[in-house]
Structure 1
Amino acid sequence: MSRRTGLILDFGGVLTTSVAACALAFERRSGLAEGALLTALAIDPRGLALYEDLERGAISQAEWNTGTGDIIGIDGTDLLGRMLADLHPEPRVIEAARAARAAGVKVGILSNSLGMEPHNPYDGYELDRHYDAVLLSEHYRMRKPDPAIYQIMLDLMELPAEACVFVDDTAHNLPPAEELGITTILAADPAETVARIHTALELPLT
């Protein structure tokens, strides 16, 4: 097999610190029971539907803030911004992406968007400057793991599936990429993720 020349990264939890840890910190600050936020987002059918609609761009962030705040029982004003207050760049993965690009690898971002107003989670990352292709789900009215979004990303990268590595911190987002022939990495510990990226791309680990 020829050397892989494309790296596709999820945003939250890959290019950033842990989203789950961020949610836990928000629960503690807000006096919520541990797990209340994640239950509302991923288990409660109303909250799950709202979250998926937000990622697809079917509702605004302001609408999501209000609806999710009602489910959790707290003020929804700038809820997303408050939730993500402890989300920060993950420097080890960002540096790995920079090193890969410097070595001639195309690097792209494939993110399930959370809207950009009133809170822009991508602010400060300069995605258009530092990455070769950026796909935010709301602009395409679909979300991971919708299979079509992975092919759109490959088209933006101008690379075949077999040439690409995809890194995501959510396990169910990986199988559709694998079915296309993309090599996948489930991100957990950043140091391990970086090591696996370097191995998959056959780059030296500095």
Structure 2
Amino acid sequence: MPEPTAVVLDAMGVLYESADDVGELLVPYLREHGCALDTADIEEAYRRASLGELTSAGFWEATGVAGSADDEEYCARHTLTPGVHELLKAADTAGVRVACLSNDVSRWSELLRRRFGLTESIRDWVISADIGVRKPQPAIYHEMLRRLGIAADGVWFVDDRAANVAAAREIGFTAIHYGRDVTSFDQLTAALAR
């Protein structure tokens, strides 16, 4: 792999352990709070929130749990993937910029990055709800490149979803499928240190 100028990490399934946060974390949380919507309707409400069409408060209202569900309580269910902070230290030592490109709800993304102490090491966050575009649409990758101010061939892009990896490759990123090309942050850190 070419030496990177920047490493762009996905959030769910890469920075945070749950790859299917809607199915594994959000739906059970909603059920515990009395949500009676079927899963397809919950997924659609989440999609709308991840495009910025609903705030997190609007999402809780749309799923019938406003007043009992809470952003911080829900976000506390997420766990950081082991080795993240070690990669961030190695990137800093190597002079490599680290960014995050994620399909997520704005408020939840902010809470998670603060909770896990990521705001100092990861300064560039392109979140779907903030710009109204989700991966794998090309516009979200181009927005990341615009913010980084570098060419795609200087970026390692790490994501756990094949469609997102394929879209990044088409744009020119060195795209790494987390879970297939690498299976841990230790491997990413070792590759960065070479």
TM-score using structure 2 length: 0.78
Which stretch of structure 1 is more off in the superposition, 157-166 or 108-117? Answer: 108-117
Give the structure 1 partner of residue 92 of structure 2.
101
Say whether the 8 Å CA contact 2:12–2:20 is kept in structure 1.
no
Give the structure 2 partner of residue 53 of structure 1.
48
Give the structure 2 partner of residue 166 of structure 1.
157
Post-superposition offset of 1:54: 0.7
Say whether the 8 Å CA contact 1:132–1:157 is kept in structure 2.
no
Question: After superposition, where does 1:1-206 map in structure 2 within 5 Å?
Answer: 3-20=3-20, 24=24, 27=28, 40=39, 44=40, 46-68=41-63, 70=64, 75-76=65-66, 77-78=68-69, 81-116=72-107, 120-188=111-179, 192-198=183-189, 201=192, 203-204=193-194
Say whether the 8 Å CA contact 2:101–2:125 is kept in structure 1.
yes
Mapped to 2, the partners of 1:22 and 1:61 lie a distance apart of 14
Say whether the 8 Å CA contact 2:113–2:119 is kept in structure 1.
no
Post-superposition offset of 1:166: 0.9
Structure 2 gaps of 5+ residues are none
Counterpart amino acid of residue 98 in structure 1? K
Question: Cα RMSD over matched residues?
Answer: 3.3
TM-score using structure 1 length: 0.74
Mapped to 1, the partners of 2:90 and 2:190 lie a distance apart of 13
SS in 2 for 1:188: coil
SS in 1 for 2:133: coil
Post-superposition offset of 1:120: 2.6
Structure 1 gaps of 5+ residues are none
